[in-house]
Amino acid sequence: MILLISGTAAAVYMQGCDAHAASSNDRFAFLLPNISAYHIFKGNPSSLNPANGYHLYELSTGLFTDYAEKQRLIHVPEGAAITATGNGLPDFPDETILVKTFYYYNDKRDPSKGKKLIETRLLVKNNGQWNAGTYVWNKEQTDAVLATGSSNTPVSWINKEGTARNISYHIPSPKDCGTCHNTGNLLMPIGIKIRNLNINVVRDHDTINQLRFFQQTGIMKTTGPAHFDQLPAWQNNTLSLEERVRAYLDVNCAHCHSDKGSCPQSRVRFGWDLSFEDTRITGNTNRIIKMLSKGRMPRIGTTIIDEEAVALITTYLKTLK
């Protein structure tokens, strides 16, 4: 199938989204005031060495956030396990903690030159509900404090092409978190779906399927990776153009533009959503390309354009004319 996006939809689909955003303010008080209180990292926090009980995880396709590097960790309480029931989000036990730390290498060509930690976002499950919080790292890179509102911080780095980049990085507020993590007016994780975890990773110098690794470590109950789909890696240029675009839209856009997201009218009014399973495109693609090139979406979490992705999506849309 292909994704349906009409020209009219592209012009007005931003309207009314805020009315559907989930609020995380009621859960905000549950979170601890400092990231150090969770004992996530051992040794120097800026080294990002996971402490016992915190496991690295990787995604086939990740969310774009102003070219920031990301470390993803999961903590599952002792004696409990995640249950994989399908290709989507698994069932998480209470006291599960999802950790995502955003940082920039000073020079991406040479990581040994150090990095700057910007923020760590937590999703903590308590009494069947997820609690979202953003922790802002101090200048000393020794601890991060729970943010009560949004803020901007200057970031400078050299990218892998050797170009110096300077941006004003936006750190989201608790309300911002609730906007994107809204599923049926409930705060929920986004990227950590089974099909997005079903990839090979390197652990202890060996290559292993990530679902199998989680099964072996005891933090996941699963029938094995062969029983689940795999989301394409959008940056894998050996895959088809359509697969890559669909995967990118699924991870970066579908959480809002779906029946249960913060902008459900995109499907109700215009008959389309951006999930990988239901990818249809028709209509005025020139208008969509213009919208992408001006960086109008996503509205939260980015301040600059994902140039490579926009070029890829633009190329794909032009094939549909």
Domain ranges of the chain: 7-318
Give the model confidence (pLDDT) of 83-102 as tens digits. Answer: 998 999 999 999 999 999 99
In the chain, what percentage of residues exceed pLDDT 90?
A: 60
pLDDT score, position 179: 63
Spatial distance between the Cα atoms of 179 and 235, rounded to a whole number of angstroms: 26
Q: Which helix (H) or strand (E) holds 49?
A: none
Q: Would you give the end-to-end CA distance of the chain in angstroms?
A: 16
pLDDT at 133 over 50: yes
Give the model confidence (pLDDT) of 192-247 as tens digits. Answer: 999 999 999 999 999 999 999 999 999 999 888 999 999 999 999 999 999 999 89
pLDDT score, position 71: 98
More confident: 317 or 311: 311
Q: What is residue 22's DSSP assignment?
A: P
Spatial distance between the Cα atoms of 231 and 84, rounded to a whole number of angstroms: 15
Amino acid at residue number 37: A
Please count the residues of the chain: 321
Token duo for residue 226: 């062969």
Residue range 299-316: mean pLDDT, rounded: 85
More confident: 72 or 290: 72
